[in-house]
Amino acid sequence: MTEKLIFEHSRPGRAAAAQVPAEAPTIDDLPAAMRRDTPLGLPEVSELDVVRHYTRLSQANFSIDTHFYPLGSCTMKYNPRACNTLASLPGFLNRHPLAPASHGQGYMACLYELQEMLKTVTGMAGVSLTPMAGAQGEFAGVAMIKAYHEARGDTERTEILVPDAAHGTNPATAVMCGCKVVEIPTDSDGDVDVDALAEKIGPKTAGIMLTNPSTLGVFEQDILTISKMIHETGGLLYYDGANLNAILGKVRPGDMGFDVIHMNLHKTFSTPHGGGGPGSGAVGVSKRLLDFMPIPVVGCSGGGDDPRYHWLDETDVPHSIGRLSAFMGNAGVLLRAYVYARLLGREGMQRVSEFATLNSNYLMTRLKSAGFDLAFPDRRASHEFIVTLKRQKAELDVSATDFAKRLLDYGYHAPTIYFPLLVPECFLIEPTETESRETLDGFVEAMVAIWNEAKNDTATLTEAPVTLPVRRLDEVTAAKNLDLKHDAAAQDTRSVA
């Protein structure tokens, strides 16, 4: 990449005169001992330097706003501009989190309605919006399961069952909550192996963590059997909402028997995603976990023409697992999710899952016709599906990595690769509902073109990407000797004030 750091553009004394405050701020009220005695070391650049630098960086972005981004298990759908515009209204932006509830009734009304909509669409009895990311939502979910058993004096339940196809965050969450992970194998159709499950459940079972549709891109056919088995043994069911986009408005986790669910609002409800989000991992619970929800939750009294909103705290949620953030999670992100849900409405939400699965099945069928191997050829795709490039690896010695890197040259973000771990040389492809047929066709053509290249010109493939600002990375060195520090002292062109 040729673009220098903003610090490397710095020249002593250069400034953006128009941006300098007319009056220099005074620091008289700051004790002398608290003041810096060296300059801050900010870059000294002109306004045009700054504009060009950041414009060039933005042009190097490979994002949903510039490219098709079929990253499986991530739901990289388009973020409608309206969500951002409405969440940025001055009344929302200027609200202070410490202001009394009477001054934030509009904002709280939005959150209350979002809670209610998420309850309806997931079939859960309560929703708390406060977790600030998917991983925190997962943590909240398993912490609630644990708190539930402990409140009943059922302290021997320390095992969390996790299918071997699960997201890595599931076992990580269980361990973070002090539980032991018990792995459940998958059968040849991609479903949980129910016989193996029967052998692993018992008086130590705290719960099971499932994603449905699973990470293998198929709907768990025996979910009601599994749900019954777990409840009969005294455990609870946790739903990882990663793949909620596939069933939105069609099937509800609450109706499948799940006791707790986390939703990735940054996936299913289209809030900004990637590059750090920030995310939002709202949790929904069944009746038995209502008293354990993380706070704050928005409550409503009055109703009718005069609803009054207030924060529910420890007195309202007596066994709450506590607070996960200082205030109300990622407040602005929740607003964006609210606007998205309101823009869609009930029927719109159903169309989301219909088109997400239609696009996925269309893309799967076209890739299969083009000769690619599917991991589960006999199953219908959910909102995502898996292609395995094992045959291409064996016959042509080109890997899933090579295909993925070359796709970037063709203008497509690579799908998720080498996950789930069960499927060798795999592509987990999730087109989402916001892509047109032309885009999907273009992706198929690129895949076919790359396969043809693999047959004739392996060199380009193993060197790809060849057209981007950054070429093939040395992932081993990057993982072992990560060095992100800019040595300002070595290149110090600052003036001393």
Residue 230 DSSP label: H
End-to-end Cα spacing for the chain: 33
Residues 189 and 376: their CA atoms lie apart, in Å, by: 7
- Residue 122, exposed/middle/buried by CB under 10 A (0-12, 13-18, 19+)? buried
Assess contact for 274 and 416: CB atoms under 8 A: no
Q: In the structure encoding, which two tokens stand for residue 402, read together?
A: 């090579």
- Rank residues 355 and 418 by Cβ distance to other proteins and give the closer one: 418
Q: CA 247 → CA 50, 252, 285, 446, 470, distances in Å?
A: 45, 7, 18, 29, 38
Q: CA 346 → CA 54, 444, 450, distances in Å?
A: 40, 32, 41
In the complex, the smallest distance separating the C-beta of residue 175 from other proteins, rounded to whole angstroms, is: 11
In the complex, the smallest distance separating the C-beta of residue 386 from other proteins, rounded to whole angstroms, is: 15
* Owner of token pair 């929703």: 127
- Residue 414, exposed/middle/buried by CB under 10 A (0-12, 13-18, 19+)? buried
Q: Where is 117: in which H helix or E strand?
A: helix 105-122
- Rank residues 311 and 418 by Cβ distance to other proteins and give the closer one: 418
In the complex, the smallest distance separating the C-beta of residue 275 from other proteins, rounded to whole angstroms, is: 21
Residues 69 and 470: their CA atoms lie apart, in Å, by: 18
Residues 234 and 202: their CA atoms lie apart, in Å, by: 8
- Rank residues 348 and 424 by Cβ distance to other proteins and give the closer one: 424
In the complex, the smallest distance separating the C-beta of residue 428 from other proteins, rounded to whole angstroms, is: 13
Q: Which of 297, 182, 160, 296 is nearest to 238 (CA)?
A: 160
CB atoms within 10 A of CB 175: 13
- Rank residues 295 and 400 by Cβ distance to other proteins and give the closer one: 400
- Rank residues 98 and 476 by Cβ distance to other proteins and give the closer one: 476
Residues 181 and 55: their CA atoms lie apart, in Å, by: 47
Q: CA 304 → CA 38, 111, 235, 342, distances in Å?
A: 60, 17, 39, 20
Interface contacts to other proteins, rule CB under 8 A: 168, 390, 394, 418-419, 421, 424, 475-476, 479-480
In the complex, the smallest distance separating the C-beta of residue 205 from other proteins, rounded to whole angstroms, is: 18
- Rank residues 335 and 386 by Cβ distance to other proteins and give the closer one: 386
- Rank residues 341 and 400 by Cβ distance to other proteins and give the closer one: 400
Residues 209 and 223: their CA atoms lie apart, in Å, by: 12
In the complex, the smallest distance separating the C-beta of residue 56 from other proteins, rounded to whole angstroms, is: 29
In the complex, the smallest distance separating the C-beta of residue 30 from other proteins, rounded to whole angstroms, is: 45
Residues 163 and 422: their CA atoms lie apart, in Å, by: 11
- Rank residues 24 and 476 by Cβ distance to other proteins and give the closer one: 476
In the complex, the smallest distance separating the C-beta of residue 159 from other proteins, rounded to whole angstroms, is: 14
- Rank residues 15 and 175 by Cβ distance to other proteins and give the closer one: 175
In the complex, the smallest distance separating the C-beta of residue 434 from other proteins, rounded to whole angstroms, is: 29
Q: Residue 372: what residue type? A: F
Q: In the structure encoding, which two tokens stand for residue 84, read together?
A: 């951002």
In the complex, the smallest distance separating the C-beta of residue 24 from other proteins, rounded to whole angstroms, is: 50
- Rank residues 99 and 421 by Cβ distance to other proteins and give the closer one: 421
